[in-house]
Structure 1
């Protein structure tokens, strides 16, 4: 079960690593259910920080971390604070403040994290690699879970965008508006794995990258569900 060892919260520089055994001292095999989702101690994590709303795992990468909800009164708080609420230059993996109403069920749930050469401290640094089709195809599954459900997503495409130009959307007028946004994003994609799926909901993973606009650039990985929810008993 994913919870840190006793005393972890006393260290403000602590980061959540991708290796479940380093957090529990148990074998990795005991940390994942048969469905591949890690077992999360929700009571512990939400006791540590009530902003913890979910967990994200990308098999084969360092991404295996809690997701916190950014507050609307301080949307950038988790850019410089970790899951414990302590100051940390690596921040945390967090859901955009604009998604607070529907959470991870938002029509486009935007999840952000820092890019860093230290992938243990800032696991979203791997997001920039999704501009490469071979890498993306080999790491296409994204596992999201909350205390209520587990959901498998598949990467559909990745964009490289200028961070100085507004491109984020989380609210849509209707189904047609969402489809128009999704199709336009896919047309402009730097990498496409799936050019036909028309989902009803999407997840966007966002982090800095340095390909086209090195002064201020983001790689945006867009994924959609590959099956129905597994409801947590």
Structure 2
């Protein structure tokens, strides 16, 4: 191989490496921009939700609680809000007619890798079923449902066994009774039950999987809230981290 050929190959290799670097850098910058936009949107929504003083408005058969009305004007698919002390989780909950739309879209339906916290399309916020499911991504900047991982720490769990869950119509204290990792072949997101026994069978399976034993009693007529996010310990695609709580209506 002569000197000219070596030089040409060296230039080509340099250009290739430079191209790979630029591509990788572009991806990182694009991700960082999405993270920034997501934080900005969420901060604005939190400010509106907590600081605005709005009257309760009627929505046919039910009254929408104060604090939601202004946000509903910006997205009528808003159904609630979740707040977990000791984490960044302090977010609106959205619901589409499918479980895909909000995987990669924010509150304003703009494309964003962080997506949104969203309720399973099979649930009905006005008439809650026995198992209400909320989904969210685990983002590397700690946002969305990434900080559910904190519940895998026993000390954190002991000090944070309840959290706040609000819908358009009601306010709840959620009492955590199970934390575990699983795969999607365990149907923890089952929403319809033909008998009390079928529901109790699911509850028994959840108790068996939980990494903690709690004093929270969940019976056949109790409603639970399921928080679901990805986990990679058991399976890179079908692994899930699950936190489940009994819903106790306030007031």
TM-based fold match above 0.5: yes
Distance 2:250 2:68 in 1: 18
Gaps of 5+ in 1: 1-10, 32-38
Runs of 5+ unmatched residues, structure 2:
1-33, 53-64
| Match for residue 123 of structure 1 among 141, 144, 148 | 144
1:50-69 map, 5 Å: 50-69=76-95
Distance in 2 (alpha carbons) for counterparts of 1:16 and 1:138: 26
The aligned residue for residue 105 of structure 1 is: 128
Aligned to 1:185: 206
1:43-91 CA-partner distances (Å, limit 9, x unpaired): 221111111000000011100010001313xx21110111111111110
Q: Distance in 2 between matches of 1:109 and 1:135?
A: 24
Find 1:70's aligned residue among 93, 96, 119: 96
Which TM-score applies when normalising by structure 1? 0.75
User: Hey, what's the Cα distance between the residues in 2 that align with 1:102 and 1:23?
Assistant: 21
Could you tell me how far apart the structure 2 residues matched to 1:180 and 1:17 are? 43
Q: Which structure is higher in helix share?
A: 2
* TM-score of the two chains, using structure 2 as the length reference: 0.71
Matched with 1:3 is: none
Higher RCO (C-alpha under 8 Å, 6+ residues apart):
1
Q: Give RMSD over aligned pairs.
A: 3.1
Residue 17 of structure 1 contacts residue 65 of structure 1 at CA under 8 Å; is this kept in 2?
A: no
How many residues of Structure 1 are paired with residues of Structure 2 in the alignment? 204
